[in-house]
Structure 1
Amino acid sequence: MTKLSVNINKIATLRNSRGGNNPDLIKVALDAERFGAEGITVHPRPDERHIRYQDVFDLKKVIQTEFNIEGNPKEQKFVELVLANKPAQVTLVPDTEGQLTSNHGWDTIKHQSYLKDIIAVFKAEGIRVSIFVDPSEEMVEAAQSTGTDRIELYTEAYASGFHEDKERAIKPYIKAAKLAEKLGLGINAGHDLDLHNLQYFSQNIPGLLEVSIGHALICDSLYFGLENTIQMYLRQKNG
């Protein structure tokens, strides 16, 4: 069964816009779990424009489901943060400083040696590792050689093409997922998945273990309420 991990970055963005602690990030994370979320995802960035480093320590103390920390391991402070908190999973994303949002996966051929080394650091501490990749069979095959446990398929291209031609949009993802399964890699996915495109994706991607959803889910919760929205996403990803 595919797990739903709720990314709470946008809750932190709203909190930071006015200072103080409204909304309360910790309470939202705990409520999300209570409402059915099967994991909590955060993506701290160096400027701390949403998730702050202290938030990670505070969340680690209370999260009962899987805790997933995303970020660029080329930032030493990020590596130290992950090692200090030992989440269930770390997702390595090749963001650049000041980048608005994640917009590409790793070149697992060019960065093969680096990824092998940094993945070994996290795995030595018992942390499951997932790396962000585009739906390219070449990149998936090279990912297997890095020692990663899982890949996270970057789904922006699928989401962008879904309404025009969903079969064409999902085709490279199916190929990438089938190869990943063959190579023994776990499969996660995320970026721009929503109530419209999630079910089709979940139904057609073999071996899908986890979807991480934040922006669309938080936007939907403004209309439907957080508890109802999480339940709606759970129904979609479970088909």
Structure 2
Amino acid sequence: MLRIENLHANVGDKPILKGLSLTVPAGEVHAIMGPNGAGKSTLAYVLGGRPGYEVTGGSVSFNGTDLFDLEPHERAAAGLFLGFQYPVEIPGVSMLQFLRESLNAQRRSRGQDDLSGAEFIKLAREQAGALGLPADMLKRPVNVGFSGGEKKRAEMVQMGIMAPKFAVLDETDSGLDIDALKAVGEGINRIMRAPDQGVLLITHYQRLLDHVKPDAVHVLSDGRIVKSGGPELAHALEEEGYAEVLA
């Protein structure tokens, strides 16, 4: 579903990704762990198409399409979802309006009709309820005044509404308490666990993986995947640290 081959990328003049290769088949969740500065967030931003991240080599295929042939909004319309470590606030823009416009823009790009206001409100309330986010919060400006946990729940609501084919989630567990962590983990399982979907889950900690059982765990270090294994690898990293496991 997602095939990354020998990917190199710079931020400014500094090389960050240095020959990263990884394949995530449809129906699987793969976790990426690694020390600070390894290139985890850079990988997420490169896949999403964030400006300022220059691809200098390699390729990425998404469902058989060259990802780098698509603009960021075209990647989203094709079914790629990027979850941020720190979701941004957008003052003056209603969460409901933002989500409805986003969803209908994607539907139009696929030749589908827009959802009516009533249809969208019903969908948004269902997704918010499933994530434990009060429906009234959807009337507020995007993420304004939200706690860290509320921002992450709101992002999972967005993912549920968009129903992407593939999600790249950059440290979704950052700043979450125990209850929010469980809710987010259950949300990922509910929304993205299907034979025609996939997830690349970037995390520092094993704790989220207790709720989202990955099919594979990869260690990213100095811009490359240096070790891969099953869920037991995450436990070893948690107990022994990166230096010991990589040694």
| TM-score, normalising length: structure 2 | 0.43
Flag the structure with larger Rg.
2
Q: Name the one with the larger helix percent.
A: 1
> RCO higher in 1 or 2 (8 Å CA, sep ≥ 6)?
2
| TM-score, normalising length: structure 1 | 0.44
Q: Name the one with the larger strand percent.
A: 2
